Amino acid sequence: MRIIELIIDEKDEQSGIDAVSVVHSPAIEENFVALNKHEVELKEVDTEKKILMGAALIPNKQIYRKNAKGEEYYIYFSPDTIRKASELFLMRSNQNNATYEHEKKLTGLSVVESWIIEDEEKDKSKLYGFDLPKGTWMISMKVNNEEVWNDVKEGKVKGFSIEGYFADKFEMSAEEDEATEVINEIKSLLGIELESYTDYPKQATENAKIAIRYAEENGWGECGTDVGKQRANQLANAEPISEETISRMASFERHRQNSQKELGDGCGRLMWLAWGG
C-alpha cells in the first residue's frame, strides 16, 4: 500500500489548513479532553470554561485513506510541515473556522491556544493525560455553542480533524520538473534567455478577468492573498509574467476539480480562475 507524504506548497496560496472539525472518530486516533469546571481564583467562582484540548496533527503518523477510485493508501505529515501548517492557520486568521464532521459549518467555536510540543515530558499536554511525540500540533478550542457542547458531554464528538489543501510531495516534484522542462524547451526554441513573456493562452486572460469582475461585485472575502490578486491583474491585462509564475500556474493544475464549482462556493473556483484556469 502506498505511503504518501503531504506537504505545504508555498507557491500555492490555498495550501494549508482552512478549518478544524470536531468529529466522532478523528483520523489521527487521538481524542481530546474536555476542560470543564475549571477553577478560577476570582471571587471563588467555579465556572464551566467549555474548552477542548487535543492534537490537531501528529508528526509521521500514518493515516489511512481511500479515494473515490477505491485505491487505498496512507498519508503522513513531517514535523516541518506541521509547524508550517500551524503557523499559516493563525497567520490567515482561520481560528474561528470550524465544522461538524467536515460537513456542517459551526459558529461559536474558536481556537484559543495553539502550540507545538517541544518537550514530551514537560509539555502542558502531559498534565491532561496526553502522551504525544515532539512536533505534535496541539490546540485548545473554546466552545460557545450549546449544541456542540452537549454532544461533547454525551461523547458524540471525541477529537479534532483538520481541513485544508496539501500537496503530494512526489506529484509536486513531478509538476515542478515538468514546468521547468517546458520553460527550458521554450528557451531552446527561441535561442534566448527568457525573463518573462506574454505569449500565454488568451483564455488565461479571460479567466482572470472573470475572477476580477466577480471580486469587484462580491468582494474577495477570505479568498486569495495580495500576491494572488496581483497575479490576476497581470493576467487580465496580458502583462508579462515571470518563469517563477509559470511554475506556480503549472502547480495549480492539481486544483482542476475546483473549476467545476460555482463562484461563491468557497475560494476554489475563484482562485482557479484568478490564476488563469
pLDDT at 102: 72
**Residue 237 CB partners (closer than 8 Å, separation 6+):** 205
How far is Cα 39 from Cα 29, in angstroms, rounded to an integer? 29
pLDDT in tens, 38-78: 332 222 222 367 888 888 888 888 877 776 677 787 878 88
Task: Report in angstroms the alpha-carbon separations of 133 from 30, 117, 161.
Answer: 12, 7, 18
**Which residues, given as ranges, of the chain have pLDDT below 50?**
29-47, 169-177, 186, 188, 190-194
pLDDT at 34: 43
How far is Cα 170 from Cα 267, in angstroms, rounded to an integer? 25
How far is Cα 10 from Cα 65, in angstroms, rounded to an integer? 24
pLDDT at 13: 58
CB 240 within 8 A of CB 198: yes
Identify the DSSP state of 94. -
How far is Cα 163 from Cα 161, in angstroms, rounded to an integer? 7
Cell numbers 504525544 label which residue? 132
pLDDT at 25: 57
Please tell me the pTM assigned to this model.
0.56
How far is Cα 3 from Cα 63, in angstroms, rounded to an integer? 9
